[in-house]
Amino acid sequence: MSIEKNKVVTFNYRLKEPGLDFFEDSRDTEPAVYLHGYNGMMPGLEKALTGKEEGETVSITLPPEEAYGLRHESEPQRVPIKYVITKGKLKPGMAIQLNTKDGPRDATVIKVGRFNVDIDSNHPLAGKTLEFELEVMNVRDASEEEISHKHVHGEGGHQH
User: Per this entry, what is the length of the chain?
Assistant: 160
Per-residue pLDDT reduced to its tens digit, 90-126: 999 998 999 888 788 888 999 999 999 999 988 888 8
Walk me through the domains of the chain, giving residue ranges and CATH numbers: 7-69+126-149 (3.10.50.40), 77-120 (2.40.10.330)
- Determine the pLDDT at residue 154: 72
Scored b (16 or more CB within 10 A) or e, 32-66 reads bbbbbbbeebbebbbebbeebebeeeeebebebeb
Of 46, 35, 39, nearest to 8 by C-alpha is 35
- Determine the pLDDT at residue 102: 79
Query: Which pTM does this prediction carry?
Result: 0.77
More confident residue, 101 or 24: 24
Average pLDDT over residues 36-48: 93
- Determine the pLDDT at residue 159: 47
Amino acid at 156: G
Q: Is the pLDDT of residue 160 over 60?
A: no
